[in-house]
Amino acid sequence: MKIAPNVSPAKRAPDFQDGSSIKIPSLQILNQDGSIVAGATVPDLSRDQAQKIYSDMLYTRMLDERMQGAQRQGRLSFYLTCTGEEAAVAGTIAAFQPQDMVMAQYREQVALRYRGFTTAQFMNQLFSNGQDLGKGRQMPVHYGCRELNMMTISSPLATQIPQAAGYAYGQKLKGKDACTLCYFGEGAASEGDFHAGLNMAAVHKSPVVFVVRNNGYAISTPCCEQFASDGIAPRGLGYGIKAIRVDGNDILAVYAASLEARRIATQEQRPVLVETMSYRLGAHSTSDDPSGYRSKEEEQEWRDKDPIQRMKNWLITQRWWDEESDTELQKSYRTEILAELKLAEQRDKPPLRDIITDVYKTVPSHLLEQFQELEAHIAKYPDRYSA
């Protein structure tokens, strides 16, 4: 039985290795003006799929703008935007198959949209009404959909990383032609779950693709105060995981890297780490004010690298899109989103009993007792809960 670690041949004098010397370049294929980087290999992307990817990115931007506005109006309690990171999500989800499980963090609205999540479903979850798939039990933006293989988002940071490693190992044991796609931000990579999840995936050779959206900030903490290494990609190498870094605002680079990442995960049956370098153009959430920790000049520098504008420029150079189509699509999305918002906020809330259903096959006595106490309390003070 082999128990010794796999180490290199011994040296005869101390020779410490400096991890700061590890520098991983970013893959870039598309320039901001829509032209192709000299010598770059363009992935095979059909006109129909390219238009769908762009349309879903644009839809997400419209959704984020409207829902942030709704929160400011007091119609919604909380919201998180994907603004500035749309290509990092759209380019990855488009390279995977419907049978692949997705475990997201909370900026992956475009992944849901790409798989068919409707505007009504977005709104029902955000307003926690009776048609919400989660039965009103989750905070806004904590989406989930069994039919679309989208695991429900949880609030604690990074919990999905070890879960993804384990789920993917289960896919492997069952011999499924599928893998798991796991999203998180670079701030989540500072959690213990990140290290536990990557090590587990590496040891068991789980077919999981970890996508870390390096958007520059973990709430108000910039990358330079989070880690001394060259981003997150080198950590994958440290765990024996293949890793790549891409320009997260470049839809073609993200898509090309993701196609290969899925191939490695499914055909070689091993984990992969993809680091997308982008920028969170919006606030961390509607509870955050980024003006307190970053400058307008910094934000503008990244606005000039907008991933949606970059893809639009490329589509126009391909003669697959034009300004008139863009204006009409934005108008239709705004109309649709506002109409569904108004409907969702008028729908009844889930029945109270949904609090204890669908958790256990049979409701245990202690939960039933607590629920009966709650009903008695509400009956005693009806005016407090009439709304």
Annotated active-site positions, please? Answer: 280, 284, 293
Q: Residues of 157-179 as b/e, b for ≥16 C-beta within 10 angstroms? A: bbbbbbbbbbbbbebbeeeeebb
Closest Cα partner for 349 from 155, 125, 153, 146?
125
